[in-house]
Amino acid sequence: MRVSVVGTGYVGLVSGACLADKGHDVVCVDIDPEKVERIRRGEAPIYEEGLDDLLARHVGRGLRATTDLRDAVLGTDLTLIAVGTPFDGQRIDLRFVREVARQIGAVLRDKDAYHVVAVKSTVVPGTTDRVVLPLLEEASGKRAGRDFGVGMNPEFLTEGVAVRDFLRPDRIVLGGIDERTIARLDELYAAFPDVPRVRTNNTTAEMIKYASNSVLATLISFSNEIAALCSALGGVDVADVMRGVHLAQYFTTALEDGRRVVAPITSFLEAGCGFGGSCLPKDVAALAAQGREAGVGMRLLSAVLDINREQPGRMLELLGRHFPSLSGVRVTVLGLAFKPDTDDVRESPALPIVARLIDAGARVTAYDPVATESAARVLPREGVRFARDLADAVAGAQAILLVTRWREFEALHEWVQRMQEPPVVVDGRRVLDRTRFARYEGIGVRV
């Protein structure tokens, strides 16, 4: 199928490259000419494992990039909208989605063939039918359902493993205003015959995405609340508690012969210094805001966000057990990305942690294997030294805060054991073996 994808961020570019890999003829559109140029050269503007490889194989063949939306829509049968949907503090900001819908509508005015426009961006329930569809009709002068289809195809990929997630999805959700729209979306995913599918209306598709993110965020904040209580009580370690919780039959799969398959514990059941990223915080906040507007209290999701906002502060509390004042203390922050295997620092708990350390007068060194550049753009220029590597980062540190679960940090004990003065190590992800550190603190355990 000939497919256009508007927006070449994490979702748009990964979707475009993977759909090209599945044999579709894909054109990716972005307003940012620099991004388009990089893609044309076969370079991924973002760090995602496997993406460079896909671009190398498909750019110039089944995958093109352009800034010309008109040309892209005219030459394809289906358009996926994958632009950003930030949260402005009150509600989801649909500026980019609206703009793109208007532009696509204007092109459809001049297109005779039936076309499907599907929203892939995460938008609050009702947006596709009540915002995107009317804009398309208005700009095109045509009728949805008769002249073109309007669908909603939420994306569940996880940054860091986005390519793998897209190529091996756990589910495919296809919303549409009618059978014809859904049939075309079905065809788009023809290369995934064994993946469970939900075919539904647009509003349900939108809600599935929000409910999915909200349940994950809820599990994390739940684990963090239990962690806070474990810390306060002493003699109980949240890591052991959640491993025990995880073995419940609801989290495991029963085989026909009665045996159980126990998957590795999900990070959503592990306590830590909080969730971040471009999705969970904004999506939960957006759904809670929509609920309140609709007269539903959304008390649970509000609490989920409140607990999450407190988590970065817990790292400083743990540090405070060893340093009554942080003024002049050499503190190293390990990890700036909101999760491992990505350079994305949006809403990363590392940002408020670094900011608070600077405010408290600490001498901050920060290190991340890939996210240093993106973090340097948003962190204050003064007050942070960015280390080259782990050795450089830990050298001379009086305290080390582990914030992102990067693999290489699991060997931190090897570096710390070589140091003359053992630093205080605060484990914000509970990945370290605490018996290997002379001065250890961790979320959810009192040592």
Site of interaction with ligand NAD (CB under 6 A): 6-12, 29-32, 35, 82-85, 96, 99-100, 121-122, 155, 157, 159, 278-279
Give the shortest CB-285-to-ligand NAD separation in angstroms. 12
- Sign of dihedral through CA atoms 349, 355, 361, 366? positive
> What type of residue sits at position 13?
L
Give the shortest CB-227-to-ligand NAD separation in angstroms. 25
DSSP string, 339-353: STT----TT-THHHH
279 as an active site residue: the answer is yes
Taking the least distance from each CB to ligand NAD, the nearer of 133 and 286 is 286
Question: What is the side-by-side strand order in the sheet with 25-29?
Answer: 63-66, 25-29, 2-6, 78-81, 115-119, 148-152, 172-176, 197-200
Give the shortest CB-165-to-ligand NAD separation in angstroms. 9
Q: Which residues contact 207 (CB under 8 A, 6 or more apart)?
A: 125
Give the shortest CB-28-to-ligand NAD separation in angstroms. 9
CA–CA dist 209, 190 (Å, integer) = 21
> What type of residue sits at position 318?
L
What single DSSP character describes residue 87? B
Q: Which residues contact 294 (CB under 8 A, 6 or more apart)?
A: none
Taking the least distance from each CB to ligand NAD, the nearer of 73 and 443 is 73
Distances (CA, A) of 218 to 23, 183, 281: 38, 34, 11
Give the shortest CB-228-to-ligand NAD separation in angstroms. 28
Taking the least distance from each CB to ligand NAD, the nearer of 35 and 246 is 35
Collapsed DSSP state (helix, strand, coil) of residue 86:
coil
Give CA angle at 409 (404, 411), nearest 5°. Answer: 160
**399-402 vs 424-427, strand pairing mode:** parallel
Taking the least distance from each CB to ligand NAD, the nearer of 51 and 424 is 51
Taking the least distance from each CB to ligand NAD, the nearer of 77 and 283 is 283
Give the catalytic positions in this structure: 279
